[in-house]
Structure 1
Amino acid sequence: MEVICSDKTGTLTKNEMSVVAVITADDLFDTTDPNEHDNQINQTSSNQALTKMVETALYCNDTKVTYKGGVREIIGNPTEGALLDWANQMALTENVKEISKLPFDSAYKYMATLVDVEDKRYIYLKGAPDVLLDLVEKEVSHNQVKVFDESPWNEKIATNAKLGQRLLAAAYKEVSNTKETLTHEDISSDMILVGLFGIIDPPKKEAIEAVRVSRQAGISVKMITGDHKDTAMAIAKDIGIENYADALVGKDIEALSDEELEKVVMSTDVYARTTPEHKLRLVEAIQRNGQIVGMTGDGVNDAPALKQADIGIAMGIKGTEVTKDAADMVLSDDNFATITSAVKEGRRVYENLKKTIYFSLPTAFAQGLLVVVSLLADRPLPLSSVQILWLNMVTTITLSFALGFEPLDEKGMTRPPRDPKENILSSYAIFRTVYVSLLLAGLGFLVNSFLGSKGTSIPIMQTTLITTLVFGQVFYMINCREIIRFSITKTILSNKVLWYSLAILAILQLLVTYAPFMHVALGTTVITGQHIGISVLAGLAVFIIVEIEKTLTRTFFKPKN
């Protein structure tokens, strides 16, 4: 994966919303200042704008906040939960009845309710400031309704957004008591702006580290959010995302042709005020640059973008079933850091697969060469069929199993993503397979010839040859812990499975050599320490020769590994 497109809320941030500022035409209330708390409560009854802000937070809201066992639990949207937490502190008591509502939708980015409050009927509206500022015609200032002046509000939005605050605008209007249903046309005229909520959702510490690790691994991280541009830029800066200064908003994306977007998308990492349709276009534009793209999403409308991405990543907690079905991977904790962990695990699995292939092919070919060369030379087979089967089924599998548990090397997350078209059997892999096969088989023939010249019996020759091949494979397995670099590293102690495999293999080999029932089954016999010493020397020779070759390869050919 070369590019990760991530949403912000809950993935890069904690999804623990809190209202830190309430902004009206005349005042800026810092809700985090305990010294101002009582003053704000006292103003609720006398400050019309503040009263309407509290009412909007309470009545234009689909969420409930409960406490179970003393633990706060939000049933619904975390942003609305933050509004409720603030509004419930403002000691506002009114008789209320909900009549109708328009639920929030990312297509129009607002929510509206029709509510009876103290025998009067109101429409309360909250949503994205850039949307609501186009809908309102009036504003509340100095406890009076005046003509709306957009310029000061844009300054307030920009100032607070640059502090990393997510901003929601609130508006209302009084309607006839006979009105029973609410439509989009009802909020298209005569709406009165009362203020802005400044909400903070702090970045996750683990997300900051995960973004750093991703960049180090050559993976570009792009934030795609529905928040205000300045908010997105501030959070992106805190998290460590590159190229945040030239953020694009949804309107910018719509204004670009597919060809123009294809050029821009690789140099821009932050996208604000976006819709699911924008996400799909961004994924397609990145893919046209030849990149492998991962895309996160949680809503039903995100499904097309997740399906289009090379790796669709759904949120396990807040994600819908449709999103999970469309995705290739589901994050059980909705945490961006989990994506980085998955990348690390993927790289480890791929590298260990390569190591296993580098080990298995030469050892299998070496055993085959012993048979083929003997047949072509019209000589007796050095090993019986059962003995060859023992080497294949027990020895080789036991050792290759250990390589699957090797940890990712220390440079594994500092290399750029591999080319997906890369052949796992590279020219170097073929070269390594050929010469190690010849080396193992050659040493086997050499040991066999030496023993034969001494008039050694066939069972001893076969048992010594099996032991030689076992030690050759053991030492070569250690060679394969690092394909190019020197294989004896400090991480050799951390792979416990390797040591378990060697212990099991040692027990099995002792049984082959010294257990009478194994002698009957495999045709082996007891061998002396001298024979074992010859086997160990042959295996050590394999290790030394392969390590010399790796050193020469690193020095003169400088391969990627």
Structure 2
Amino acid sequence: KGGLLRGAIESEMPRLHTIPFDSDRKRMTVIRRRDKQPWAFAKGAPEMMLERCTHIRTDRGVEALTESDRARMSEACALMANEALRVLALAERQLETFASSAETAPSNDEVEQKLTLLGLIGLQDPPRAEAREAIARCKRAGIRTVMITGDHPDTARAIARELGMLDRGDDVLAGVELERLSDEALGRRVQQIAVYARVTAEHKLRIVRAWKARGAVVAMTGDGVNDAPALKEASIGVAMGISGTEVTKEAADLIIADDNFASIVAAVEEGRGIYDNIAKTLGYLLAGNSGELAVMLIAGLVGWPLPLLPIQLLWINLVTDGLPALALATDPIDPGVLTRPPRRQDAQLIDRAFLQRIALTGVLTAGVALIAFAYEFYADNSIQDARNAAFSAVVIAELLRAFGARSEVLTVVQVGIFSNMRLFVVVAVSFALQLLIHHLPVLETVFGTEPISLTQCVAWVVLGSVPLMTLEVIKFLRQSRLALLHPTEGRSLT
């Protein structure tokens, strides 16, 4: 925009030396040769640069930097910062001599003093459009988002407000204020601080440790070399794949390929969905196995013949249970998964409630099988018919129960039978295979089955639906009770 070309400037004013940016100094300087004289050009945080400036360039030329000028610059800086602009101060100085060799080169402090202030620049770096929504989703998921930045506190506050990060009672803390806090004092305040500004690498490390001391699982993002210690200390270190340095990536546990905060939220959603599906699959399989075990144990205790043959048990475990379990493992993620609070760190997958659900489901499945077996056994005095009935009842009960296993809270109607087409197809195919076992002579011989009539088929379907219907009624009653206690609470799959 100013008509300046970098190549032309580089040739007219060749670079002699660079003093790189440092998070402690908050400035950087390059030394160039202009008109055969070495000149230092510096940029950095206004408050740090103003300390180093003794003069100011105006339309009248170079003048001494007065307290009035300093106040005017500070006011301009605050105005830009409140508009969420990142403010840089620019300054220059003509050096008498400069030697680039390590032995004779002046120190950084010697170069960066008695500077002439050239002006202030406000840089606009607006947050991505999806960042605000991602932070809102974090709030709903019970995830506390904290901004740690090197920006001016006013800039950081304005950006945080734009992103919806500042709630009532939240604080903004500058690095100089953080230094005055002891670790104990920081630990007491850390939950109320939403934004940290003008921080150093050591500050980031202290913040991570303060959160961990309160028992929190801390995910820390970063892209610079100075972020590496904090990433290493965090429960989960997250590096930026595009802007991140190799040192940061090595220290991280996770790398975000697109440098997008929304990707972290998507990863949390995916992780919760995977955990839910593992719980569904494990619960479905264990409940089925417990029911089959109960059938065999109870029949043995009352002196009945084996209700199920070994080959039938193998079929139930590999096909009737195995195929629906695979479909449950790929169940779509619950849209409300990010409305639930995080699990406690000490929470176990197989807890008391989990075992109670398995026991109840196992008892219901076993009851269905034993009722079918006893009815046929005593009505016709035929072990073959009794096994036929028990086998069919267990298979139907397991297949129907797969639809209810998708949620511990919502009913099958609320979840939707067709919302997981893989499961629907698997159940339909398994039903068809079960009919073949009863009506194809070769399979009848292998599995020890007999043909079943339409009346028997309807009877076993009705009986096999008892476990599912019982569990669905329990869900409905639990929902009704919850609605009375918390009328505005939303529903979610769990």
Q: Please give the TM-score of this superposition, normalised by the length of structure 2.
A: 0.90
Structure 1 residue 88, shift from structure 2 partner: 4.1
Correspondence 1:138-149 to 2 at 5 A: 138-149=55-66
Paired with 2:478 and 2:472, the residues of 1 have a C-alpha distance of 10
Paired with 1:127 and 1:177, the residues of 2 have a C-alpha distance of 24
Q: 2:137 aligns with which of 183, 190, 213?
A: 213
Report what 1:60 is aligned to.
Answer: none
Q: 1:96 aligns with which of 13, 20, 25?
A: 13
Q: Provide the secondary structure at the position in 2 that maps to 1:505.
A: helix
Paired with 2:180 and 2:13, the residues of 1 have a C-alpha distance of 44
Q: 1:365 aligns with which of 281, 284, 290?
A: 290
Report what 1:435 is aligned to.
Answer: 360
- Cα gap change, 1:323 to 1:463, in 2 (>3 Å): farther
Q: 2:128 aligns with which of 199, 204, 212?
A: 204
Paired with 2:198 and 2:277, the residues of 1 have a C-alpha distance of 42
Report what 1:179 is aligned to.
Answer: 99
Structure 1 residue 202, shift from structure 2 partner: 0.9
| Maintained 8 Å contact 2:43/2:90 | yes
Q: Tell me the amino acid that sits aligned with residue 53 of structure 2.
A: V
Report what 2:448 is aligned to.
Answer: 523
Q: 1:158 aligns with which of 78, 86, 98?
A: 78
Paired with 1:178 and 1:382, the residues of 2 have a C-alpha distance of 96
Q: Provide the secondary structure at the position in 1 that maps to 2:346.
A: coil
Q: Tell me the amino acid that sits aligned with residue 529 of structure 1.
A: L
- Cα gap change, 1:384 to 1:118, in 2 (>3 Å): same
Deviations 1:355-382 (A, max 9, x none): 2233222211110111112222332111
Q: Provide the secondary structure at the position in 2 that maps to 1:269.
A: strand
Does residue 1:448 correspond to 2:391, yes or no? Answer: no
Report what 2:151 is aligned to.
Answer: 227
CA RMSD of aligned residues (A): 2.5
Paired with 1:287 and 1:309, the residues of 2 have a C-alpha distance of 8
Report what 2:280 is aligned to.
Answer: 355
Report what 1:461 is aligned to.
Answer: 386
Q: Provide the secondary structure at the position in 2 that maps to 1:221.
A: coil
Report what 2:113 is aligned to.
Answer: 189
Deviations 1:485-524 (A, max 9, x none): 3232255433222123223323432332233332333223
Paired with 2:377 and 2:271, the residues of 1 have a C-alpha distance of 49
Deviations 1:115-142 (A, max 9, x none): 1123232111112222212222221122
Report what 2:310 is aligned to.
Answer: 385
Paired with 2:275 and 2:468, the residues of 1 have a C-alpha distance of 24
Structure 1 residue 396, shift from structure 2 partner: 0.8
Structure 1 residue 233, shift from structure 2 partner: 0.9
Correspondence 1:396-415 to 2 at 5 A: 396-415=321-340
Q: Provide the secondary structure at the position in 2 that maps to 1:488.
A: helix
Paired with 1:324 and 1:520, the residues of 2 have a C-alpha distance of 61
Q: Tell me the amino acid that sits aligned with residue 72 of structure 2.
A: P
Q: 2:466 aligns with which of 512, 531, 541?
A: 541
Deviations 1:267-297 (A, max 9, x none): 1101111112111111111122222221111
Paired with 1:490 and 1:270, the residues of 2 have a C-alpha distance of 40
Q: Provide the secondary structure at the position in 2 that maps to 1:265.
A: helix
Paired with 1:269 and 1:528, the residues of 2 have a C-alpha distance of 69
- Cα gap change, 1:338 to 1:182, in 2 (>3 Å): farther
Paired with 1:494 and 1:110, the residues of 2 have a C-alpha distance of 56
- Cα gap change, 1:290 to 1:134, in 2 (>3 Å): same
Q: Return 5+ residue gaps in structure 1 as ranges.
A: 1-36, 42-85
Structure 1 residue 337, shift from structure 2 partner: 0.5
Paired with 1:446 and 1:501, the residues of 2 have a C-alpha distance of 27
Q: 2:438 aligns with which of 478, 503, 513?
A: 513
Report what 2:350 is aligned to.
Answer: 425
- Cα gap change, 1:317 to 1:200, in 2 (>3 Å): same
| Maintained 8 Å contact 2:377/2:385 | no
Structure 1 residue 171, shift from structure 2 partner: 1.0
Report what 2:489 is aligned to.
Answer: none
Structure 1 residue 426, shift from structure 2 partner: 3.5
> Using CA pairs below 8 Å that are at least 6 residues apart, which structure has the higher relative contact order?
1
- Cα gap change, 1:126 to 1:178, in 2 (>3 Å): closer
Paired with 2:190 and 2:313, the residues of 1 have a C-alpha distance of 57
Paired with 1:300 and 1:339, the residues of 2 have a C-alpha distance of 21
Moved more, 315-324 or 215-224: 315-324
| Maintained 8 Å contact 1:313/1:327 | yes
Paired with 1:199 and 1:453, the residues of 2 have a C-alpha distance of 87
Paired with 1:341 and 1:97, the residues of 2 have a C-alpha distance of 47
Paired with 1:388 and 1:184, the residues of 2 have a C-alpha distance of 79
Q: Tell me the amino acid that sits aligned with residue 71 of structure 2.
A: S
| Maintained 8 Å contact 1:135/1:187 | no
- Cα gap change, 1:417 to 1:166, in 2 (>3 Å): same
- Cα gap change, 1:288 to 1:456, in 2 (>3 Å): same
| Maintained 8 Å contact 1:243/1:270 | no
Q: Tell me the amino acid that sits aligned with residue 260 of structure 1.
A: A
Paired with 2:227 and 2:251, the residues of 1 have a C-alpha distance of 9
Report what 1:126 is aligned to.
Answer: 43
Report what 1:293 is aligned to.
Answer: 218
| Maintained 8 Å contact 2:91/2:115 | yes
Paired with 1:236 and 1:248, the residues of 2 have a C-alpha distance of 13
- Cα gap change, 1:325 to 1:93, in 2 (>3 Å): closer
Q: Please give the TM-score of this superposition, normalised by the length of structure 1.
A: 0.80
Deviations 1:289-313 (A, max 9, x none): 2222211111222122112222221
Q: Return 5+ residue gaps in structure 2 as ranges.
A: 487-491
Q: 1:106 aligns with which of 23, 37, 45?
A: 23
Report what 1:480 is aligned to.
Answer: 405
| Maintained 8 Å contact 2:397/2:467 | yes
- Cα gap change, 1:525 to 1:323, in 2 (>3 Å): farther
- Cα gap change, 1:491 to 1:109, in 2 (>3 Å): farther
Report what 2:256 is aligned to.
Answer: 331
Q: Provide the secondary structure at the position in 1 that maps to 2:118.
A: strand
Paired with 2:224 and 2:192, the residues of 1 have a C-alpha distance of 27
Q: Provide the secondary structure at the position in 2 that maps to 1:104.
A: strand
Report what 1:117 is aligned to.
Answer: 34
Deviations 1:73-130 (A, max 9, x none): xxxxxxxxxxxxx8549x9797121111112232322221111123232111112222
Structure 1 residue 530, shift from structure 2 partner: 2.2
Q: 1:137 aligns with which of 13, 38, 54?
A: 54
Paired with 2:45 and 2:356, the residues of 1 have a C-alpha distance of 62
